[in-house]
Amino acid sequence: MRILFVVDAPKDWPLDIVGVEVVGARQYLTEPTWTELRRARVFNLCRSYAYQSVGYYVSLLAEARGHRPSPSLATIQDTRSRHTVRMASEDLEDLIQRSLGSLQSDEFVLSIYFGRNLAKRHATLAARLYELAEAPLLRARFVRREHWELVSLKPISADAIPPEHHGFVVRVAAEYFAGRRPPTRRRSKARYDLAILVDPDEPDPPSNERALTRFERAARTVGFEAERITREDFSRIAEFDALFIRATTSVNHYTYRFAQRAQAEGLVVMDDPGSILRCTNKVFLAELLQRLKIRQPRTVIVHRRNVDTVVDELRLPCVLKAPDSAFSRGVHKVDTRDGLISMVGELLDRSELIVAQEYLPTEYDWRVGIVDGEPLYVCRYWMASRHWQIVKHDASGKKAEGNADTLALADAPSEVIRMALKASNAIGRGLYGVDIKESQGRYYVIEVNDNPSIDGGVEDSVLKNGLYLKIMNTFLARVERLKRGDA
């Protein structure tokens, strides 16, 4: 497996590590050599991991390409969360006090290189922090108030390594690649209680009241005590065994922080943080589908250097998507070259990469609901009246939706279900809704959604209560596996 160090400016890379290839970040994102590479370990050493920056996309697309990034996107998000840092400080409190207790200053910075620190007395603390945030280069900052506290834990870029540390980094990197890595530990697990996270003020929640009531009833049937919680209950997550998110998810959002915290506390989580990260970014999905050779509309990952090629590759009209577009928002149909240039510029002001796809007009989209790798329901979501999308938003914020109908699995096209399973299995084993278009007798995967809509009277109209029981039995099986220590 090839080992890649992806950096902003390869000419400024200060270290010579045997067996490592140094690659520029923009080259990694855009050049076919790296897009088509099949087996690689990518160490992302960019200066910034800010949302939708170059560094962010290096880790995102490395996952899409099957390249095993470090730090992963989940780690990047974890280290940006104050809640995660506070939780780490609490979990490691005794170790922090033992390791730093003899210091005279009121502030201390710990550099962690491939899980190691130069000072042996900090070896265990460095290893535990690396376990929490597995990134090749980390910097932890502590302050002493009444006692020592961890206040930040962040990946750092290569140019942040002091020159006097270069020799140590080369040595521990060589040991890391030889398999001599810091040990990791497993967390303990707990009880049979289910939290259902909802947002009472959300105008378009993923489940209506009828569905939520049926989820609660199904949970009790299989052996859970179910309780609805809101964003105000963040501090209570550890009281539960499992978390079911039924509020619309997003990466820079409290729902993602709930998923992170629940997973760190040892809960079964749906939607898990990895699924949220992958499904809410259209660039990731486009690369993933391409790598797996799953048919999608002709697609171009657009950046500032290839804007002029989009029309030639896709023809007009075409569809432009912001990476985090959802519910028909952030998705734009453009009919002219001038309109495309204008909209691409607007979208690239907010993200380094966006998605352009050929326009496939259809009367409806197929939606396949999947849980734990098994099909659950198949719907047809019809386009809004005189509109090219399922949901039509007007300038005042009002919306109109097309109708929906649900089919028995046996009555749905087998190819639709097969494609949906292949696409969702590449994301994970959670709860997903896969959207597929049918055009001229061929099927195209449009996207894989975490947190899919499940409304009473729509998605459950075939299976009825069986749909809710299937999902709750999935939670139960996972909790029991965790309690036995099988997962």
Question: What CATH number is given to the structural domain containing 266?
Answer: 3.40.50.2300
Residue length of the chain? 487
Q: Among 312, 339, 357, where does a domain finish?
A: 357
Q: Is residue 139 part of a domain?
A: no
76 Cβ neighbours under 8 A, 6+ residues apart:
49, 56, 59, 155
Q: Confidence class of residue 79 from pLDDT cuts 50, 70 and 90?
A: confident
Separation CA 468–CA 471 (nearest Å): 5
Separation CA 154–CA 143 (nearest Å): 15
User: What's the whole-number average pLDDT of the chain?
Assistant: 91
Domain check: are 353 and 373 in the same one?
no
Contacts of the segment 258-261: beta carbons below 8 A, 24+ positions apart? 258/197, 258/231, 258/234, 260/74, 260/77, 260/78, 260/81, 260/83, 260/84, 261/83, 261/84, 261/87, 261/234, 261/237
Separation CA 35–CA 27 (nearest Å): 10
Q: Is the pLDDT of residue 135 over 50?
A: yes
Domain check: are 309 and 264 in the same one?
no
Q: Summarize pLDDT for 196-247 with one digit per residue, the tens.
A: 999 999 988 999 999 999 999 999 999 999 999 999 989 889 889 999 999 9
Separation CA 90–CA 242 (nearest Å): 22
Domain check: are 388 and 455 in the same one?
yes
Q: Confidence class of residue 390 from pLDDT cuts 50, 70 and 90?
A: confident
Any idea what the CATH number is for the domain that residue 43 is in?
Answer: 3.40.250
The least confident of 6-20, 177-191, 363-377 is: 177-191
Any idea what the CATH number is for the domain that residue 397 is in?
Answer: 3.30.470.20
Q: Is the pLDDT of residue 477 over 50?
A: yes
Residue 39 structure tokens: 């087996």
What residue numbers bound the domain in which 15 lies?
2-76
Q: What is the mean pLDDT of residues 442-449?
A: 97
Q: Confidence class of residue 81 from pLDDT cuts 50, 70 and 90?
A: confident
Q: What percent of the chain has pLDDT over 90?
A: 76
pLDDT of residue 188: 38
Q: Confidence class of residue 446 from pLDDT cuts 50, 70 and 90?
A: very high
**SS3 (DSSP) at 29:** helix
Q: Is the pLDDT of residue 444 over 50?
A: yes
Total domain count, the chain: 4
pLDDT of residue 439: 95
Q: Is residue 129 part of a domain?
A: no
The answer to whether residues 218 and 472 touch, using CB atoms and an 8 Å cutoff, is yes
pLDDT of residue 369: 99
Domain check: are 254 and 217 in the same one?
yes
Q: Is residue 121 part of a domain?
A: no
Residue 399 structure tokens: 């919306």
Q: What percent of the chain has pLDDT over 70?
A: 96
The least confident of 7-16, 109-118, 394-403, 413-422 is: 394-403
Domain check: are 378 and 444 in the same one?
yes
Domain check: are 350 and 379 in the same one?
no
Classify 217 in phi/psi space as left (phi over 0), alpha (psi -120 to 50) or beta. Answer: alpha
